Amino acid sequence: MQPPEIQIRVEDDRTGLSQETLKRAFLDNLFYIQGKFPRLASKNDYYMALAYTVRDRLLKRWLSTTATYLDRQQRCVCYLSAEFLMGPHLGNNLINLGIYDQVKRAVEDLCIDFEALLEQEEEPGLGNGGLGRLAACYLDSLATQEIPAFGFGIRYEFGIFDQEIKDGWQVEITDKWLRYGNPWEIPRPEWSVEVPFGGYTERFRDERGRDRIRWIPSQTIKGIPYDTPILGYRTNTANTLRLWKAEASESFNFSAFNDGDYYGAVREKVMSENLTKVLYPNDAKVIGKQLRLEQQFFFVSCTLQHLIRILAGQNFPVARFHEKFALQLNDTHPAIAIAELMRLLLDREQMDWDAAWAIVQQSFAYTNHTLLPEALEKWPIAMFGSLLPRHLEIIYEINSRFLDEVRLRFPGDNDRLARLSLIDESGERYVRMAYLACVGSHTINGVAELHSALLKKTVLADFYEVFPEKFTNKTNGVTPRRWLVLSNPRLTDLITDAIGSRWIEHLEDLRQLESYVEDAGFRAQWRQVKYAIKQDLAAYLEKRLGIQVDPQSLFDMQVKRIHEYKRQHLNILHVATLYLRLKRDPNLEMTPRTFIFGGKAAPSYTMAKLTIKLVNAVGEIVNKDPVSRDRLKVAFVPDFNVTIGQKIYPAADLSEQISTAGMEASGTGNMKFAMNGALTIGTLDGANIEIREEVGAENFFLFGLSAAEVCELKARGYRPQDYSQSNEMLQAVLDLIADGYFSHGDRDLFRPLLDRLQSDDPFLVLADYQSYIDCQDRVSQVYRDPDQWSRKSILNTARMGKFSSDRAIREYCRDIWKVEPVPIDLAAYPFDAGSCQIQ
């Protein structure tokens, strides 16, 4: 007789990392969570099972981190942002946990396509572009550097729209990212918060005989936190991203229900839930919609009430709020927090004004993201007052006290008072949110050296005069984990084989690659890697767009939101110029190029949408014409997002960073490209300037007017026609478009775009055209010499250390937040079943 089989499990199914345990856990989750067995399982079931398997493996880190922060009395960073453009979680968590290869093997052992499961994840597109992506990179770096930190934002049910291209035009499709469930978030309905809106305020005398104010709102909405773990790279720290969802308040409208107005009560409920329904799809432009202000106040109020509740739970005096929390305002979207914290301290905590204001000013810091006047948020007083009557009173009081100080410092200077007032009184009256942020914060920063300098000279010049000590610069950065290790495994391996893997957390170490620049073998390997990545992208373009491109050709890329200041139209004028050269001389020698564009246009931004149509129209002709099709290709990749970015950035030879100087605050796409070994063609704008300083002028293709020259030219009186009339090629290209050459003879189609270029051309496309074309010709020349190109490419990667978000976060921690790392000891919290005590 056989003895009974005794199985000894040395590994727990929820934490074990051996291949066998991972397989068992995966199948277990498929069965017990998805309720499927392999024969019935869809790709999504497999994805979910895998996601839960990975989530199980980071929960201990997450709960230990949370417990540590509750127990210790350290200062915590609270990053307040209306947008977090996280990108897919699965691959990133595998990298950060250090189990990517084991899990891949376990999944493949079950004969399941691992890549397909990664592709299955719908990315949480809860942001428009650079600003939201910056918040995501910063969360990664905070966790990696073991900094106690939370991200606070909005759980939009619909994130940024999905973009489809139909007949060359952008079509917007709603982003149903929650359709199949989100395995990464945990709702915490028991920690909900009530947020008041509307109504009026009244004075009253409290039981101690003090004159006070109370807000009688007309409505309250409930905020439910949804928590997502943010794991650091190879650390035990897993911080929390807490996003708030709006729901109907239970207490409210009970009476309507009792009065028999059942449908009225249901309508209220539906209206409440609308609040966090959709992300506004405008980038670098404000829209004065009340719902947007409601969203901003909602997530900020939820967050601040929640923070005060944490202090109460710890018996920590609210008078020392600022010792516990460093609140960062990612642009002015959360700036209403300054008035809301005042309200909570004054009305709820019954503090006096000066004490409350001191706490506020020591808690907040403000990051400005743009100089564009159309992007500076301001709210009409009437709307603001009807939605937030108490906050309007508080803002008036902040303003009055601030202007009293200004009056003392600048006697008789009434113009200055009007310029500095938090209330714009030049026409219809508005609350200026950037000004509120400046007065209520201890520190104000721009996001690149040039941007921070221009802030002090232009939009915030008056504030700089009053508070010079508040102003500083924090140049943006991006996380090398997502933008190199995860998205570019080939280059990661090549680099790591050469210099080891310390660079992943210490990006300055990439400098060691400089010693390989003269190694012909290494250069050849570098080229092989780039070639293989380009082949992958070529296969993707063929499959998705049916466009065949040559991986040997120069991959020339511009992916970013479509905006006139970013000048995608300048890029397409270059394409049309090359095409016209070929038409004029079919035997012309030309460096073959593949132009890749990607980016979404705000649905109401007509000029941007027309630019997309123009790219596709030029592509249609150039890709087909026998004279050009073997040398020039144009591809517009639809639905540019983080997932697609991970395929695009690594495959670039040339990165287009061609904004009008002075208009791009920093850019971060420029950093992702250069880290992956692309050379930049760019203006002296945003972080381009610092990238050029780091990589060396000889490894950067510079063109165009400087910010100062742009300013002078505009002051002199810019006449775009002077440039087209004196430039035969430019005129010929504009005429070709106007003639309907790219639009089947339709001469009206692109007229709005051409009229804008030839009448006012606010972004100086024509002024920079020739300089751009000349520079592109130099690019083509250098590309013809692969060895020279590879040297420059290697040096770009080698010298990008500065642009890690780890460096940026270290500076924020040291100069603004004054926070220190808190390492997490997993042994300190015996949560495991059996050793966990229930009290």
Interface segment toward ligand PLP; rule CB under 6 A; list 208-216, 234-242, 664-672, 751-759: 664-672
- For residues 560 and 791, which CB has a smaller minimum distance to ligand PLP in the complex? 560
Q: Which of 145, 441, 660, 668 is in the footprint of ligand PLP by CB under 6 A? A: 668
- For residues 676 and 790, which CB has a smaller minimum distance to ligand PLP in the complex? 676
| Whole-angstrom distance, CA of residue 828 vs CA of residue 431 | 49
| Whole-angstrom distance, CA of residue 617 vs CA of residue 729 | 20
Which one from 55, 60, 324, 369 is the annotated catalytic residue? 369
482 binds ligand PLP (CB under 6 A): no
Q: Which residue has the tokens 């990392």?
A: 17
Which one from 668, 680, 683, 797 is the annotated catalytic residue? 668
Q: Judge whether 481 and 95 are in contact, CB under 8 Å.
A: yes
| Whole-angstrom distance, CA of residue 370 vs CA of residue 368 | 6
Degrees, nearest 5: CA angle 790-803-231 = 115
What DSSP designation does 821 have? -
**Whole-number minimum distance, CB 157 to ligand PLP, in Å?**
20
**If we measure between CA atoms, which residue out of 218, 213, 220 comes closest to residue 196?**
220
- For residues 84 and 741, which CB has a smaller minimum distance to ligand PLP in the complex? 84
**Binding residues among 56-95 for ligand PLP as defined by CB under 6 A:** none
Q: Judge whether 530 and 653 are in contact, CB under 8 Å.
A: yes
Residue 424's contacts (CB-CB under 8 Å, 6 or more residues apart) are 378, 430, 431, 432
Assess whether 566 carries a catalytic annotation.
yes
Amino acid (one-letter) located at 49: A
Q: Judge whether 366 and 329 are in contact, CB under 8 Å.
A: yes
Binning the chain into helix, strand and coil, the percentages to the nearest 5 are 50, 15, 35
**Whole-number minimum distance, CB 695 to ligand PLP, in Å?**
17
**Whole-number minimum distance, CB 156 to ligand PLP, in Å?**
16
| Whole-angstrom distance, CA of residue 780 vs CA of residue 791 | 15
**Whole-number minimum distance, CB 800 to ligand PLP, in Å?**
14
**Whole-number minimum distance, CB 563 to ligand PLP, in Å?**
9
**Binding residues among 669-688 for ligand PLP as defined by CB under 6 A:** 669, 672
Q: Which of 55, 60, 89, 133 is in the footprint of ligand PLP by CB under 6 A? A: 133
- For residues 182 and 646, which CB has a smaller minimum distance to ligand PLP in the complex? 646
- For residues 53 and 641, which CB has a smaller minimum distance to ligand PLP in the complex? 641
**Whole-number minimum distance, CB 277 to ligand PLP, in Å?**
22
Q: What is the greatest pairwise CA distance in the chain?
A: 105
| Whole-angstrom distance, CA of residue 716 vs CA of residue 714 | 5
Question: What number of residues does the chain have?
Answer: 839
Which pairs with CB-CB distance under 8 Å and at least 24 residues apart come from 782-791?
Answer: 782/679, 783/554, 783/591, 783/653, 784/591, 786/527, 787/520, 787/523, 789/653, 789/679, 790/523, 790/526, 790/527, 791/517, 791/523
Beta strands in 206-305 (DSSP E): 211-216, 219-231, 238-248
Which one from 292, 609, 631, 672 is the annotated catalytic residue? 672
**Binding residues among 539-568 for ligand PLP as defined by CB under 6 A:** 560
**Whole-number minimum distance, CB 666 to ligand PLP, in Å?**
7
Assess whether 369 carries a catalytic annotation.
yes
Residue 468's contacts (CB-CB under 8 Å, 6 or more residues apart) are none
- For residues 65 and 666, which CB has a smaller minimum distance to ligand PLP in the complex? 666
Residues forming beta bridges with residue 241, ordered by sequence position: 151, 228
808 binds ligand PLP (CB under 6 A): no
**Whole-number minimum distance, CB 672 to ligand PLP, in Å?**
6
Interface segment toward ligand PLP; rule CB under 6 A; list 50-58, 126-134, 290-298, 806-814: 126-134
Assess whether 672 carries a catalytic annotation.
yes
Of all residues in this chain, which one has the CB nearest to ligand PLP in the complex? Answer: 669
**Whole-number minimum distance, CB 40 to ligand PLP, in Å?**
35
- For residues 133 and 292, which CB has a smaller minimum distance to ligand PLP in the complex? 133
Can you state the angle between helices 568-584 and 728-738, rounded to 10 degrees?
A: 100
What DSSP designation does 657 have? E
> Cα torsion for 230, 235, 237, 238, to the nearest 10°?
20
Interface segment toward ligand PLP; rule CB under 6 A; list 370-378, 462-470, 540-548, 668-676: 668-676
- For residues 139 and 308, which CB has a smaller minimum distance to ligand PLP in the complex? 139
| Cα–chain center distance at 759 | 34
Report the chain's C-alpha Rg in angstroms.
28
- For residues 129 and 446, which CB has a smaller minimum distance to ligand PLP in the complex? 129
- For residues 65 and 659, which CB has a smaller minimum distance to ligand PLP in the complex? 659
**Whole-number minimum distance, CB 375 to ligand PLP, in Å?**
14
Which one from 292, 378, 560, 613 is the annotated catalytic residue? 560
| Whole-angstrom distance, CA of residue 72 vs CA of residue 74 | 6
645 binds ligand PLP (CB under 6 A): yes
Residues touching ligand PLP, count (CB under 6 A): 12
Q: Which of 88, 91, 129, 720 is in the footprint of ligand PLP by CB under 6 A? A: 129
Assess whether 479 carries a catalytic annotation.
no
Which one from 561, 609, 692, 792 is the annotated catalytic residue? 561
Burial of 12-46, coded b for 16+ CB within 10 Å and e otherwise, reads eebebeeeebbbbbbbbbbeebbebeeeebeebbb
Burial label for 676, CB within 10 Å (0-12, 13-18, 19+), is buried
**Whole-number minimum distance, CB 7 to ligand PLP, in Å?**
47
- For residues 131 and 265, which CB has a smaller minimum distance to ligand PLP in the complex? 131
Q: Which of 88, 91, 124, 130 is in the footprint of ligand PLP by CB under 6 A? A: 130
**If we measure between CA atoms, which residue out of 719, 753, 713 comes closest to residue 733?**
753
301 binds ligand PLP (CB under 6 A): no
**Whole-number minimum distance, CB 771 to ligand PLP, in Å?**
21
What DSSP designation does 564 have? G
- For residues 640 and 750, which CB has a smaller minimum distance to ligand PLP in the complex? 640
Interface segment toward ligand PLP; rule CB under 6 A; list 127-135, 327-335, 489-497, 729-737: 127-135
667 binds ligand PLP (CB under 6 A): yes
Interface segment toward ligand PLP; rule CB under 6 A; list 33-41, 128-136, 267-275, 736-744: 128-136
Q: Which contiguous run of DSSP H or E holds residue 347?
A: none
Q: Which residue has the tokens 């670039």?
A: 652
* β 186-187/219-231 pair status: antiparallel
**Binding residues among 625-644 for ligand PLP as defined by CB under 6 A:** 640-642
Q: Which residues carry out catalysis?
A: 369, 560-561, 566, 668, 672
Interface contacts to ligand PLP, rule CB under 6 A: 129-130, 133, 560, 640-642, 645, 667-669, 672
